[in-house]
Structure 1
Amino acid sequence: MATDTSTYKLNHTMIRVKDPKKSLEFYGFLGLSQINKLDFEEAKFSLYFLAYNGPNSLSGERHWTDRNGVLELTHNYGTENDPNYTVANGNTEPHRGFGHIAISVDNIELACKRLEDAGFPFQKKLTEGRMRHIAFVKDPDGYWVELIRRTDESVAAGVTSTDPKSYRLNHTMLRVKDAEVSLRFYQETMGMELVKESQNESAKFNLYFLGYPGSNPPVKKDASNPVAEWEGLLELTWNYGTEKQEGRVYHDGNSEPQGFGHICISVDDLDAACARFESLNVTWKKRLTDGRMKNVAFILDPDGYWIEVIQNETLKSRSKW
């Protein structure tokens, strides 16, 4: 058996939510559709899988495991009625780690106005701060959702409306302690390609964008953001000097207080992929053979973030979900 990392997809990002009705309304307003739901009645939780779907989307009508850029909402029963339940959004000390998801939009001015008019709160409006080309809206649990441009301003100038169904779930941002170590892991072990990087020496941080080119559009090398049309990118944020700190620097989202859960890679052959990961001496959170669920595995990255590994059901049938 062999596995080909070029067929892998950064399938989804999981976040825990307090009230699925409110979260589904918010993300639905951003154009995302529910493409699957899994209920685990005995364990008292449900999983909602959201994505950009249909003719104006990048993935069309593909099976949920055969996509980049899916958002998984995890709801533990009863949290919606618990006045003390809150999530850690990953951006407040001392529990920083996960930063945000980012959506690329056709017209960022109109997209932001539409959200403001609907009454959704912003962490940063387009007109605030030094960076006037991005905004951050907050979802019902306080997670940050970055809004970026899909096209350069000169191209978007002729756009007089915004169509949420044409948006892209572009990337997920994680803070990392040691950029060199994390880049090596995601490129050599997970098979991702580094497709964009930027340095901000005055603010003392670098950004690295990695992904699987497979079903994504060609990189637009002459564009200000050459991968704005993509879905399923991983943005690693490295703040200078953290690599010199002792021990764990960032919160993984799965130890208390919980919030972000994991990113997930879908693969061509789950058994072969896990055998390859085993040969590379990855740190396992859960092997395929562990526990009751024999169709998922979890790897820990260098910062302790969880990476779920599942079968791409279009390439090889394994699970009926």
Structure 2
Amino acid sequence: MSSDLSTYKLNHTMIRVKDPKRSVEFYQFLGLTLVNKLDMPEAKFCNYFLAYTGPKSLQGECKYWTDRNAVLELTHNYGTENDPNYSIVNGNTEPYRGFGHLAISVDNIEAACKRIEDAGYPFQKKLTEGRMKHIAFAKDPDGYWVEIIRRGDEDMGTTTDPSSYRLNHTMLRVKSAEESLKFYQEKLGMTLVRTAENPDNKFNLYFLGYPGANPKIQEGVRNPVAEWEGLLELTWNYGTEKQEGPVYHNGNAEPQGFGHICISVDDIQAACDRFESLKVDFKKRLADGRMNNIAFLLDPDGYWIEVVQNDKLKRTSNV
């Protein structure tokens, strides 16, 4: 049985959090809804899954949370909220750079940023700061960066509706653009939908995703895929490909923070068989460990990629 790559979704991004109450509250303030919660008392951790589900959202309500693009998974290890020595690395501080940020696209960026600021949440970069006046970076309770970008170029007035926001992309820094683009396109079946070259600042951005569940690309606007959900942004800083050894922190070595991205697939066994045939490196195969319903791949930089079954597409013995 073969696996149909056109059905794949960039299902979720996992980040570890110190205090789930504060983190869930922050992301709900940004318009996300708690769509699933998996408590694992025997392993002393809990996962919270959030997504945009309202009537103005791109995907709306879904019966199966694994059938979505762009879910946010918050992982809480019991007791960290009361541990004064526990802290998260956000992926943007040396020597632990790697994961960069999450990004939400909004209807009215000025009003959205004012709403966040009025609520008392800090910013890494406000709209008025720096050279790039069209983006901002808010900070969540653990210091992770959340980029705020504009959807469309039209004037949206003075109000903002968080229920219409999109969880647009997840940014990872990569050592070699060539190797990473080959991996995500040829091995994971993603499509390169946008490239932004910045030779003056010596970095390029590459946006990849699964087009099947996203709207037609907008032409003639600043960011033609701002309406999308579930993009992966790869950031390549010129020259890193020439450095010896690993360049970036994958978030799972100590100190921890970002955990993984996850793709949902039509047939997990067939998908994993395909990855094996392509000689993809595994962190965990389906048969390894206690959880025989998930696998983890490793990308060229050592970032973890979880593979899960899309429950909507799950095949039975009668199919």
TM-score between the two structures when normalised by the length of structure 1: 0.97
Which residue of the partner structure matches residue 37 of structure 2? 37
CA 1:158–1:255: 2 relative to 1, 3 Å:
closer
Which residue of the partner structure matches residue 50 of structure 2? 50
Which residue of the partner structure matches residue 172 of structure 1? 170
- Provide, for residues 215-268 of structure 1, a one-character-per-residue CA deviation record: whole Å limited to 9, x for no partner: 100111222111000000000000000000000000000000000000000001
Whole-angstrom CA distance in 2 between matches of 1:293 and 1:309? 12
Whole-angstrom CA distance in 2 between matches of 1:163 and 1:88? 31
CA 1:317–1:36: 2 relative to 1, 3 Å:
farther
Unaligned runs of 5+ in 1: none
Whole-angstrom CA distance in 2 between matches of 1:159 and 1:146? 21
SS in 2 for 1:185: helix
Which residue of the partner structure matches residue 138 of structure 1? 139
Which residue of the partner structure matches residue 309 of structure 2? 311
Whole-angstrom CA distance in 1 between matches of 2:91 and 2:222? 28
- Provide, for residues 179-230 of structure 1, a one-character-per-residue CA deviation record: whole Å limited to 9, x for no partner: 0000000000000000000111010000000000011001112221110000
Whole-angstrom CA distance in 1 between matches of 2:103 and 2:257? 17
Does the 8 Å CA contact 2:267/2:315 hold for their aligned counterparts?
Answer: no
1:12 counterpart = 2:24: no
Which residue of the partner structure matches residue 116 of structure 1? 117
Which residue of the partner structure matches residue 229 of structure 1? 227
- Provide, for residues 123-159 of structure 1, a one-character-per-residue CA deviation record: whole Å limited to 9, x for no partner: 000000000000000000000000000111xx2x143
SS in 1 for 2:311: coil
RMSD: 0.8
Whole-angstrom CA distance in 1 between matches of 2:223 and 2:190? 19
Whole-angstrom CA distance in 2 between matches of 1:241 and 1:253? 22
Does the 8 Å CA contact 2:54/2:164 hold for their aligned counterparts?
Answer: no
Aligned residue identity for 1:202: D
Whole-angstrom CA distance in 1 between matches of 2:54 and 2:308? 23
Aligned residue identity for 2:50: L
Aligned residue identity for 2:161: D
Aligned residue identity for 1:120: Y
CA 1:3–1:317: 2 relative to 1, 3 Å:
closer
CA 1:100–1:291: 2 relative to 1, 3 Å:
same
Which residue of the partner structure matches residue 281 of structure 1? 279
Which residue of the partner structure matches residue 97 of structure 1? 98
Which residue of the partner structure matches residue 66 of structure 1? 67
SS in 1 for 2:312: coil
Whole-angstrom CA distance in 1 between matches of 2:156 and 2:90? 36
Unaligned runs of 5+ in 2: none
Which residue of the partner structure matches residue 252 of structure 1? 250
Aligned mate of 1:161, from 145, 149, 159: 159
**Aligned-pair distance for 1:54?**
2.2
Whole-angstrom CA distance in 1 between matches of 2:189 and 2:292? 23
Whole-angstrom CA distance in 2 between matches of 1:6 and 1:133? 33
SS in 2 for 1:93: coil
**Aligned-pair distance for 1:59?**
1.3
The alignment-based identity, stated in percent, is: 76
Aligned residue identity for 1:8: Y
Question: Runs (4+) of structure 1 moved beyond 4 Å?
Answer: none
Does the 8 Å CA contact 2:175/2:248 hold for their aligned counterparts?
Answer: yes
- 1:200-215 to structure 2, matched below 5 A, reads 200-215=198-213
Aligned residue identity for 1:199: E
